[in-house]
């Protein structure tokens, strides 16, 4: 019997009659005449001739009167009992000596095929399916060996084709136990099946490598309800034979199993732990595919590569290593990883050639195109919707300059015709073919597919470079034409998945130095998706290429100005403020010159420049430009025009950054009222204004008004946009922040967790918004005194931002600051100081000494110095921060007052009580005047003054002030708020003195 794991080759091919004549000639007695020596009857068919002539031969397939012989021939000696016309009894091969793991699957098989009660016996069937090389046959072999006492008979059938099944069953007719029931004249597959059905003992019939259609195996099932049947296949559809409930997909090994297999195969099981670490990296790169791991071990053991440089060799010579001719796997497969999968694709390609025009032929052709196109996407989340959307958007007429092969491939793949809608059936027929060979896998829901990572690379490697360029372009066109440009929430998750495929496609283009060609349609759609998903570096690359391309036309076109403006916006998102400012000034000058100062595009660019000024900390210039845009828009389109309201909102933001909270609140209230009147209370822009106003209330300590407005906006967004829309998540975030400021930390944490989970699902774990959500949750943990959880989350955000945005991005530096604060809160002053110094140096270099973020870093470092009792260093830094904040923000800005408060604390700690008291009184009076007597910052000032009184020995004044703060905090925040507890602690200390 042929090796059940070895797919049959096709090195020799011939006609049965010619072969029979050749063998007959060699076996005929010397004097026998041809015409009289033959005992052949007219019914002696070509198949019977082959069975007679090839008795004892293995590894061949009979098909259409031709035979196909594999690369290796094996012969088994057996007794013929005096008969010449005897077939070999199929034998079960032994499992590999290197077999490792898979206990969970074997245990499942043992439970399924466990002995039954005598009166309750019924046939049991089971299917193991999965990609080639995943180890299905070896699992079955190991299971049979471990259950040797369970079955009286185990019949192992090579089910790779109908002919091999027939031949195997006929061989069973010569089984010693079958001879009494089957005469030599009645040898047939049906006779073997009848004999198996008649057995009174427990038997197991294994159909191995049953990769054809289910009906082929169904034809060869023994009648009756007794016995046990086990099937291995690449085709999940064989579940029709066993029932789909009794099916199990064999997936990759666990990392530990794969590592042990690699060490066994490479004969390195007795080595040190360092080798284990290297082995783990190798198996992870090979995705823990058993055949690939076994092949790697064989290459290492043979000296083709050492274990230390295997990964380097794999990256440079993957095709050669995956196809090495010396490899013979421990699985007895006798095929390399790539050869195993090539057999499947060659069969599909054969169908496409031989059945042209038929339904099967068309399905095979579409299957090949899907596989080749998907090779230039990411291997996961391959969406049917991408092909469907592209079929409705792509038009060959629009792409007349495309290569003819590209047009032909995409037309055939999408089944495009005159006014033809999406061909759902054609696509799914192609998917069905791929699934039947386990070349593609269905995802968690309908219309989502994935390809094994190694197979994904192989499907690209097997193409010639010219074909790669064609299919890369096909994949790119499908991506471009599948991108919806609307902002509907239903499209957001789809576009997030598209961004990953765009990046994979772009990466192949870069690695293979394919010329970058962009048209405006591609630019607009790609840029939209990349920016929306926070992939700003990729968006910058696309925008820069298009800007460079459009500039070559000589004249400065409108599209060029748009691309320049969008590139500047991407610079801002990456924290490249100087580059953004330079480009926006250039765009603004060109717009003013070509379109005029009052053109809408000119005003938009002025608005963008004002925002950039704000990000640079240049708040005076930002305010000036915002007011100019607002005045021009009010004059040109009126005070109630949507563009005018946007300008009012932007100016309110600048006021807020300057600490002008009353002006900001007044402007936001005006915008909200106008949008409610003009657009209605449920319009998305109206809800944005509600959120903005709620934030201003919160900044002024008006928490009840903020909570009420946040709740209203959140309820409306949930109703109108759904619970998972980004704007809904924004409202949840704002409400959580308000809860936190009110001391309602449990509700805030609950809401923060909900926002984080939904954001990760909707926008992915690495999206900038997701990182902001993680940061907010860390802040909440810190407010509750959960410093370890806060530190852990801040560290995670910092690592992700460093990786995704770079070590010098403003958001990365903000994370460094946050982590330094957490270190300080836990008393890790050395770590805090080190990180503070690093952040401060970077901000000084990138933003300048007078940027507000630089001053934040100086302020936090000064606090760290104070906690370490380095009062002189803290005093010097605080004085510098106070002077700069007074200059940049004014003497009454909240940040300026915070610096005065910090300096007063240092004076007090140094024994300069009069100066500390004077400064505390000044801050308190300004807070009362600007924010009101009950604002949180006012209460902080009162606490600071009480501390100065206490240190100065003025215990009565300290007690009176602490009692006042405690009463206000109990009323405003509740008795369990951390700030209330701090006040109780301060009062107790005063009492003790």
Specify the pLDDT at position 742.
77
- Co-location of 350 and 271 in the same domain: yes
What phi and psi values does residue 13 have, to the nearest 5 degrees?
-145, 135
Nearest to 709 by CA among 736, 741, 687: 687
List of residues 6+ apart from 608 with CB closer than 8 A: 565, 568, 569, 572, 584
Average the pLDDT over 901-928 and give the result. Answer: 89
pLDDT of residue 555 exceeding 60: no
Q: At which of 191, 217, 249 does a domain end?
A: 249
pLDDT score, position 640:
92
Residues 204 and 219 in one domain: yes
Whether residue 694 lies inside any domain: the answer is yes
* pLDDT at residue 516, rounded to an integer: 65
Q: What is the pLDDT of residue 398?
A: 65
What is the overall mean pLDDT for the chain?
Answer: 80
Per-residue pLDDT at 670 exceeds 90: yes
Residue 449 domain flag: no
Q: Which helix (H) or strand (E) holds 157?
A: strand 153-158
Does 768 have pLDDT greater than 50? yes
What's the domain range around 231?
103-249
pLDDT of the residue at 556: 54
Q: How far is CA 528 from CA 289, 496, 549, 628, in A?
A: 38, 11, 19, 29
Place of tokens 């003054």: 945
> Residue 54: is its pLDDT beyond 80?
no
User: Is the pLDDT confidence value at 927 over 60?
Assistant: yes
The reported pLDDT for the residue numbered 414 is 84
Average pLDDT over residues 54-75: 36
784 in any annotated domain: no
- Band (41; pLDDT cuts 50, 70, 90): very low
Q: Is residue 912 part of a domain?
A: yes
pLDDT of residue 852: 81
**pLDDT mean over 472-480:** 90
Chain segment 733-759, per-residue pLDDT in tens: 999 988 887 778 889 999 999 999 988
Q: Where is mean pLDDT largest: 15-19, 303-307, 316-320, 755-759?
A: 755-759
Same domain, 118 and 219: yes
Q: Decide which of 763 and 685 is more confident.
A: 685
Nearest to 377 by CA among 543, 483, 499: 499
Give the pLDDT mean for 639-658. 90
How large a percentage of the chain has pLDDT more than 70? 85
More confident site: 552 or 972: 972
> Please, what is the end-to-end C-alpha distance for the chain in angstroms?
98
Regarding whether 347 and 273 lie in a shared domain, the answer is yes
- CATH number, domain containing residue 152: 3.40.50.300
What's the pLDDT at 84? 43
CATH number of the CATH domain containing 668? 1.25.40.10
pLDDT band at 660 (very low <50, low <70, confident <90, very high): confident
pLDDT-based confidence at residue 921 (cuts at 50, 70, 90): very high
Q: Cα 828 vs. chain centroid, distance in angstroms? A: 36
Indicate if 195 and 114 belong to the same structural domain.
Answer: yes
The per-residue pLDDT for 486 is 56
Q: What is the pLDDT of residues 192-245, one digit of tens each?
A: 899 998 898 889 999 998 887 888 899 999 998 888 999 998 888 888 889 889
Q: Is there a domain that residue 149 lies in?
A: yes
The residue ranking higher by pLDDT, 66 or 666, is 666
Co-location of 165 and 207 in the same domain: yes
> What was the pLDDT predicted at 294?
82
Tell me, yes or no, whether 495 lies in a domain.
Answer: no
Instruction: State the total domains in the chain.
Output: 4
In the structure, what pLDDT confidence band is assigned to residue 320 with cuts at 50, 70 and 90?
confident
pLDDT class of 646 with cuts at 50, 70, 90: very high
Spell out where 554-645 has E strands. Answer: none
Two tokens, residue 319: 């095709």
Do 119 and 179 lie in a common domain?
Answer: yes
Domain finish residue from 206, 234, 249: 249
pLDDT for 877: 93
> Which of 249, 267, 293 delimits the end of a domain?
249
- pTM over cut 0.85: no
User: Do residue 107 and residue 239 come from a single domain?
Assistant: yes
Give the pLDDT of residue 400: 65
DSSP conformation letters of 297-366: HHHHHTTSS-TTTHHHHHHHSHHHHHT-TT---TTS--S-HHHHHHHHHHHHHHHHHHTTTSHHHHHHHH
Same domain for 244 and 214, yes or no, is yes
| CA angle (101 as vertex; 95, 106 as ends), nearest 5 | 70
Do the Cβ atoms of 831 and 797 come closer than 8 Å? no
If asked whether residues 276 and 150 sit together in one domain, one would say no
Q: How far apart are CA 506 and CA 961, in angstroms?
A: 65
Q: Do residues 107 and 238 share a domain?
A: yes
Q: Is the pLDDT at 255 greater than 90, yes or no? A: no
Predicted confidence at residue 976, as pLDDT, reads: 76
CB–CB of 487/529 below 8 Å?
no
The whole-number average pLDDT for the span 518-535 is: 73
67 found inside a domain: no
Judged against a pLDDT cut of 60, whether residue 79 lies above it is answered with no
Rounded-to-integer distance, Cα 419 and Cα 417, Å: 6
Residue 854 inside a domain? The answer is: no
The residues facing 67 across adjacent strands are 14, 62
Identify the CA nearest to 393 among candidates 363, 416, 368, 373: 416
Both 115 and 212 in a single domain? yes
Look at residue 608 and tell me whether its pLDDT is greater than 50: yes
Q: Supply the pLDDT for residue 40.
A: 32
Across residues 727-736, what is the average pLDDT?
A: 90
Give the orientation angle of helix 489-511 with respect to helix 536-551, to 10 degrees. 70
**pLDDT tens per residue across span 368-405:** 999 999 999 999 999 999 998 888 888 776 666 777 88
- For residue 743, the model assigns a pLDDT of 73
Q: Are 217 and 231 in contact (CB under 8 A)?
A: yes
Give the lowest-confidence range in 328-342, 671-685, 868-882: 328-342
Residue 244 CA to residue 127 CA, distance in Å, equals 8
User: What gap in Å lies between CA 504 and CA 268, rounded to an integer?
Assistant: 36
Indicate the pLDDT class of residue 18, thresholds 50, 70 and 90. Answer: very low
Long-range pairs for 872-877 at CB < 8 Å and ≥24 separation? 874/906, 875/903, 875/906, 875/907, 875/910
For 137-153, what is the mean pLDDT?
88
């Amino acid at each position: 019997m042929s090796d059940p794991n070895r797919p049959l080759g096709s090195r020799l091919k011939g006609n049965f009659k010619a072969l029979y004549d050749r063998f007959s000639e060699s076996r005929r007695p010397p004097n026998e005449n041809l015409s009289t020596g033959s005992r052949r009857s007219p019914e002696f068919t070509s198949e019977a001739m082959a069975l007679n002539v090839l008795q004892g031969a293995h590894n061949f397939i009979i098909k259409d009167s031709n035979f196909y012989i594999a690369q290796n021939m094996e012969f088994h000696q057996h007794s013929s009992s005096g008969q010449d016309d005897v077939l070999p009894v199929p034998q079960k091969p032994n499992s590999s000596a290197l077999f490792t793991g898979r206990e969970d699957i074997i245990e499942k098989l043992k439970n399924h095929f466990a002995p039954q009660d005598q009166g309750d016996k019924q046939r049991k069937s089971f299917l193991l399916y999965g990609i080639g090389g995943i180890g299905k046959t070896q699992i079955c072999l190991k299971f049979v060996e471990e259950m040797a006492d369970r079955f009286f008979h185990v019949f192992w059938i090579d089910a790779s084709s109908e002919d091999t099944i027939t031949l195997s069953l006929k061989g069973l007719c010569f089984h010693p136990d079958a001879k009494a029931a089957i005469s030599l004249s009645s040898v047939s597959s049906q006779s073997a099946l009848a004999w198996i059905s008649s057995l009174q003992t427990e038997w197991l019939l294994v159909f191995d490598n049953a990769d054809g259609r289910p009906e082929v195996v169904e034809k060869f099932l023994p009648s009756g309800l007794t016995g046990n049947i086990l099937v291995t296949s690449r085709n999940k559809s064989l579940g029709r034979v066993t029932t789909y409930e009794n099916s199990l997909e064999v997936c990759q090994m666990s990392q530990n199993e794969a590592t042990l297999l690699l060490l066994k195969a490479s004969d390195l099981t007795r080595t040190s732990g360092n080798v284990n670490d290297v082995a783990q990296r190798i198996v992870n790169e090979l995705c823990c595919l058993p055949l690939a791991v076994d092949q790697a071990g064989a290459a290492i053991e043979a000296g083709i590569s050492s274990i230390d440089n295997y990964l380097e060799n794999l990256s440079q010579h993957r095709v050669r290593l995956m196809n090495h001719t010396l490899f013979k796997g421990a699985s007895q497969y006798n095929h390399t990883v790539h050869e195993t999968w090539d057999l499947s694709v060659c069969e599909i390609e054969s169908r496409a050639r031989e059945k042209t025009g038929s339904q099967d032929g068309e399905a095979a052709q579409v299957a090949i195109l899907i596989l080749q196109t998907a090779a230039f996407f990411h291997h996961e989340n391959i969406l049917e919707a991408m092909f469907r959307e592209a079929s409705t958007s792509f038009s060959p007429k629009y792409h007349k300059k495309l290569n003819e092969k590209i047009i032909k491939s995409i037309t055939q793949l999408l089944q495009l015709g005159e006014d033809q809608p999406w061909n759902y059936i054609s696509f799914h027929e192609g998917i069905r073919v791929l699934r039947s060979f386990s070349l593609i896998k269905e995802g968690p829901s309908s219309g989502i597919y994935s390809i094994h990572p190694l197979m994904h690379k192989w499907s690209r490697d097997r193409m010639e470079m010219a074909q790669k360029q064609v299919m890369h372009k096909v994949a790119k066109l499908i991506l471009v034409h599948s991108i919806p440009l609307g902002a509907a929430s239903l499209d957001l998750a789809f576009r997030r998945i598209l961004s990953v495929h765009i990046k994979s496609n772009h990466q192949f283009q870069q690695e293979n130095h394919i010329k970058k060609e962009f048209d405006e349609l591609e630019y607009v759609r790609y840029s939209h998706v990349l920016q929306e998903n926070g992939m700003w570096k990729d968006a910058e690359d696309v925008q820069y290429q298009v800007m460079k391309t459009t500039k070559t036309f000589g004249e400065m076109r409108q599209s060029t100005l748009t691309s320049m403006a969008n590139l500047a916006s991407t610079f801002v998102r990456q924290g490249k403020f100087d580059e953004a400012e330079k480009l926006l000034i250039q765009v603004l000058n060109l717009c003013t010159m070509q379109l005029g100062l009052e053109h809408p595009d000119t005003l938009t660019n002025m608005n963008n420049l004002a925002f950039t000024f704000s990000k640079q900390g240049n708040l005076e210039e930002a305010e000036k430009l915002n007011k100019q845009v607002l005045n021009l828009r009010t004059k040109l389109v009126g005070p109630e025009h949507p563009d005018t309201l946007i300008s009012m909102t932007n100016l309110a933001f600048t006021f807020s950054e300057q600490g002008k909270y009353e002006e900001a609140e007044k402007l936001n209230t005006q915008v909200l009222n106008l949008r409610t009147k003009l657009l209605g209370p449920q319009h998305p822009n109206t809800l944005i204004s509600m959120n903005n106003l709620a934030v201003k209330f919160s900044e002024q300590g008006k928490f009840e008004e903020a909570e009420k407005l946040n709740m209203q906006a959140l309820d409306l967004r949930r109703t109108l946009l759904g619970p998972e829309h980004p704007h809904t998540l924004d409202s949840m975030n704002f409400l959580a922040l308000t809860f936190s400021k009110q001391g309602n930390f449990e509700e805030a944490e609950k809401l923060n967790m909900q926002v984080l989970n939904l954001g990760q699902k909707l926008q992915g774990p690495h999206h900038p918004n997701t990182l902001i959500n993680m940061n907010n949750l860390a802040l909440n943990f810190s407010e509750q005194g959960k410093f370890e959880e806060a530190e852990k989350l801040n560290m995670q955000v910092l690592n992700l931002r460093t990786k995704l945005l770079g070590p010098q991005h403003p958001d990365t530096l903000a994370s460094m600051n946050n982590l330094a604060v957490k270190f300080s809160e836990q008393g890790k002053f050395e770590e805090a100081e080190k990180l503070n110094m690093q952040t401060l140096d970077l901000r000084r270099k990138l933003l300048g000494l007078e940027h507000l973020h630089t001053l934040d870093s100086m302020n936090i470092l000064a606090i760290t110095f104070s906690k370490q009792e380095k009062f002189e260093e803290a005093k010097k830094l605080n004085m510098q921060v106070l002077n700069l904040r007074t200059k940049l923000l004014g003497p009454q800005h909240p940040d300026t007052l915070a610096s005065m408060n910090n300096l007063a604390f240092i004076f007090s700690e140094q024994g300069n009580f009069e100066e500390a008291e004077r400064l505390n009184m000044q801050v308190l009076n300004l807070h009362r005047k600007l924010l009101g007597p009950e604002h949180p910052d006012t209460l902080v000032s009162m606490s600071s003054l009480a501390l100065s009184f206490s240190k100065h020995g003025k215990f009565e004044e300290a007690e009176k002030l602490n009692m006042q703060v405690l009463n206000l905090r109990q009323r405003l925040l509740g008795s369990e708020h951390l700030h209330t507890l701090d006040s109780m602690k301060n009062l107790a200390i005063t009492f003790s003195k």
